Amino acid sequence: MATPLDNRVVVLGVTGGIAAYKAVELLRRLRELGADVHVAMTRAATSFVGPLTFEALSGHRVFSDVLDLDAGGAAGVQIGHVALAQTASAVVVAPATADFLARAAAGRADDALGALLLATRAPLVIAPAMEHHMWSHPATRANVQTLVERGARLVEPDEGALASGATGRGRLAAIEAIVGAVLEALGGKRDLVGRRLVVTSGPTREPIDPVRYISNRSSGRMGAAIAELAAQRGARVTLISGPVSAPLPPLDAVIPVETAAEMHRATMDQARGADAVIMAAAVADYAPSAAAKRKLSKSEQPLDRIELVRTPDILAELGATRPARVIVGFAAETHEVLEHGRDKLLRKKADLIVANRVGTAESGFDSDDSEAVLLFADGRVKVLGLVSKEVVAARLLDAVAELLAGEPQRSRTQAPRARSKARG
């Protein structure tokens, strides 16, 4: 039988506290569950436990300095933390000292672990351990909050006898609690089993002639992240994707489309009876009224005017006809993100809108991160902050699972209509 962490590369970060010896047990448990564990130690950690112990148990060399090199196979020699950052499925830092939390919150990259945290898109689990006054200090609280807001999973320290001789909160959490958080970070949540989700992704292309088209900026990474994670959480997922350059995730059902009209057809077709439809695609709002069959030539006719027609608003149609139980839209905005997001929520009758800021260097189309807010039809607002697309996907699916769990079989807008029909 496959183990839960089969083939998953897990980076175990060990920082310099007394509890560093407990990381040996954590390494052993992760290996038992099938993970391929690589260890990154801070220099201070090496004073508590020798790297050789971790090397012998993990079967890999330990990274410590930012410039540690690794023979990267076919790729030749690579900087260790960069190579690992790309292959890691999860990073767990246990124990995480107060100093580590401060450096991670500040984004320092002066050792291999700090640099790896900046370079990776893998989920992060932190299990702090320290003297109780240090844990309760406002500086530490603020650093922990910063990391959690960025998407890190916190495994709170336990109360008990501390290395200082005092008693209080600061002991490293139980190894199983840390392992549980790693499993959860890796999609261990199975809250979408039995659900069918339709996710649209990427841009659409509206042809002007066989070589020219109108399109929107979209990498398709947000939709792919949602589809992939939903599948990991147990859902049957259909991904309807416009043309994107990145490889499409390995899912059971992927429907490639090109134009808004094709996306409209495929989405309405797949949405029937689905539990949720998530419109992450950047659908072009206008298309040329007719695409020329042959390439238009500037020398033969002016190309400075193209007649455009509106494309079908798929999200609005889903909201109006409700073929699925939960309808989710996106609002990519450059300004007044909340106001525009709320407006779209009402206008398109969605259950949930992910409003995100685009057009800044940190957030949007080509960046890994996204400044996002979840707006619910019942008025609730969940601020996610500037987080990775994977974190947006995870929080969005939490919300979808919650809406599905709280929702009766028929949608709220359909139920009264169905009843009045029966009466009439």
What is the nearest approach in angstroms of ligand CTP to the Cβ of residue 329? Answer: 3
What CA–CA distance (Å, rounded) separates 69 from 82?
10
- 279 lies in the site for ligand CTP, by CB under 6 A: yes
What is the nearest approach in angstroms of ligand CTP to the Cβ of residue 107? Answer: 31
- 357 lies in the site for ligand CTP, by CB under 6 A: no
Residue closer to ligand CTP, measured from CB, 313 or 407: 313
What CA–CA distance (Å, rounded) separates 314 from 285?
10
| Measured distance between the N- and C-terminal CA atoms of the chain, rounded to whole angstroms | 56
Residue closer to ligand CTP, measured from CB, 81 or 322: 322
Query: Residue 236's beta-bridge partner residues?
Result: 196
Q: Are the C-beta atoms of 358 and 365 separated by less than 8 Å? A: yes
Residue closer to ligand CTP, measured from CB, 141 or 347: 347
Which of 329, 363, 369, 394 touches ligand CTP by CB under 6 A? 329
Which of 39, 175, 230, 315 touches ligand CTP by CB under 6 A? 315
Distances (CA, A) of 166 to 6, 131, 160, 173: 40, 8, 8, 17
Q: Are the C-beta atoms of 124 and 100 separated by less than 8 Å? A: no
Which of 266, 276, 331, 374 touches ligand CTP by CB under 6 A? 331
Which of 344, 349, 357, 389 touches ligand CTP by CB under 6 A? 344
Contact code string over 212-251 relative to ligand CTP, x by CB under 6 A = ----------------------------------------
Q: Are the C-beta atoms of 366 and 344 separated by less than 8 Å? A: no
What CA–CA distance (Å, rounded) separates 300 from 295?
11
What is the nearest approach in angstroms of ligand CTP to the Cβ of residue 263? Answer: 8
Helix-helix angle 221-232:389-406, to 10 degrees? 50
Residue closer to ligand CTP, measured from CB, 188 or 312: 312
- 330 lies in the site for ligand CTP, by CB under 6 A: yes
Residue 273, Cβ density class (10 Å: 0-12 exposed, 13-18 middle, ≥19 buried): exposed
What CA–CA distance (Å, rounded) separates 182 from 117?
15
What CA–CA distance (Å, rounded) separates 49 from 78?
26
What CA–CA distance (Å, rounded) separates 267 from 274?
11
What is the nearest approach in angstroms of ligand CTP to the Cβ of residue 20? Answer: 47
- Counting residues that bind ligand CTP (by CB under 6 A) gives 14
What size, in residues, is the chain? Answer: 424
Taking the CA of residue 291 as centre, how many other CA atoms within 13 Å lie in the half-sphere pointing to its CB? 14
The window from 46-54, 64-72, 276-284, 380-388 that contacts ligand CTP (CB under 6 A) reads 276-284
What is the nearest approach in angstroms of ligand CTP to the Cβ of residue 313? Answer: 4
Residue closer to ligand CTP, measured from CB, 21 or 376: 376
What residues act catalytically?
216
Residue closer to ligand CTP, measured from CB, 100 or 330: 330
Among 109, 90, 107, 263, smallest CA distance to 184 is for: 90
Which of 231, 281, 337, 397 touches ligand CTP by CB under 6 A? 281
- Residue 366, sorted as left (phi over 0), alpha (psi -120 to 50) or beta, turns out to be alpha
- 183 lies in the site for ligand CTP, by CB under 6 A: no
The window from 136-144, 239-247, 328-336, 385-393 that contacts ligand CTP (CB under 6 A) reads 328-336
Which of 23, 35, 124, 283 touches ligand CTP by CB under 6 A? 283
Which of 5, 266, 314, 387 touches ligand CTP by CB under 6 A? 314
Residues lying near ligand CTP in the complex (CB under 6 A) are found at: 260, 279, 281, 283, 285, 311, 313-315, 329-332, 344
